[in-house]
């Protein structure tokens, strides 16, 4: 890896997960249009995203990213680190809450028709099922807000500050 950019694995995980996350957020928002078609894919993508998030966090913990540019203030570094930590947390919490919520349903959770995902031992009456249902939606809206912030910051760095921050993830 060149010191000025993220590794190829980190970039693939970033962009692949970005597409899946945006697609799943759209599917969650639009699920009322065609729930029979959208929700099985939404759930399978959620399980895939949870697995990828675990891989991504493991990769990030064991592989150092590029150094901060000298032009980036300490406050901007802290804000970036906090935003990324929140994004990573949501990458785990959103699919996990969806999995718990779906476990309370009578329907199986199919992983792209290949196999059924094991369910948590929860019922619709359990408090955790209700918390997961509400939490899933709230966390998804938090993710949307953080993604807007993340994308806006990346575009600001690329087009206004021209400091190479975005180029580190482009390859």
Q: Is residue 1 part of a domain?
A: no
Return the sign of the alpha-carbon dihedral for residues 21, 114, 135, 83: negative
Residue 134 lies in a domain: yes
Which one-letter DSSP state was computed for residue 121? S
Domain for residue 132, yes or no?
Answer: yes
Evaluate whether residue 124 is within a structural domain. yes
pTM confidence score = 0.94
Q: Distance (Å, rounded) from C-alpha 9 to C-alpha 115?
A: 27
Give the CATH number for residue 46.
1.20.950.20
Task: Tell whether 26 is covered by a domain.
Answer: yes
Secondary element (H or E) of residue 107:
none
Half-sphere exposure (Cβ direction) of 143: Cα atoms closer than 13 Å:
25
Report yes or no: 101 and 66 within 8 Å, Cβ to Cβ: no
In a domain, 126, yes or no: yes
Residue 171: enclosing H or E segment and its boundaries? none
Is 3 a member of any domain?
no
φ/ψ region of 164 (left if φ > 0, alpha if ψ in -120 to 50, else beta) reads: left
pLDDT of residue 55: 99
Task: Give pLDDT, residue 34.
Answer: 83
How far apart are the C-alpha atoms of 133 and 123, rounded to whole Å? 12
Question: Residue 2's pLDDT is what?
Answer: 44
The verdict on residue 135 lying in a domain is yes
Domain limits for position 51: 8-170
Residue 3: what pLDDT?
A: 61
Mean pLDDT, consecutive 10-residue segments, the chain of 171 residues? Answer: 81 98 96 89 98 98 93 94 98 99 96 98 96 98 98 96 92 82
- What is the pLDDT, as a whole number, of residue 78? 97
Residue (of 59, 50, 82, 46) closest to 9 by Cα position: 59
């Amino acid at each position: 890896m060149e010191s000025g950019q993220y590794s190829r694995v980190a970039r693939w995980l970033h962009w692949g997960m970005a597409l899946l996350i945006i697609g799943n957020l759209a599917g969650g928002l639009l699920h009322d249009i065609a729930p029979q078609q959208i929700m099985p894919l939404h759930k399978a993508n959620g399980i895939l995203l949870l697995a990828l998030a675990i891989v991504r966090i493991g990769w990030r913990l064991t592989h150092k990213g590029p150094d901060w540019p000298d032009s980036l203030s300490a406050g901007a570094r802290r804000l970036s680190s906090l935003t990324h930590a929140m994004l990573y947390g949501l990458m785990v919490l959103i699919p996990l809450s969806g999995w718990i919520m779906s476990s309370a349903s009578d329907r199986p959770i199919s992983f792209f028709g290949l196999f059924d995902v094991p369910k948590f031992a929860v019922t619709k009456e359990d408090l955790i099922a209700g918390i997961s249902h509400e939490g899933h939606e709230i966390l998804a809206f938090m993710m949307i807000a953080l993604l807007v912030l993340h994308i806006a910051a990346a575009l600001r760095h690329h087009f206004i500050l021209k400091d190479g921050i975005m180029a580190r993830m482009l390859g």
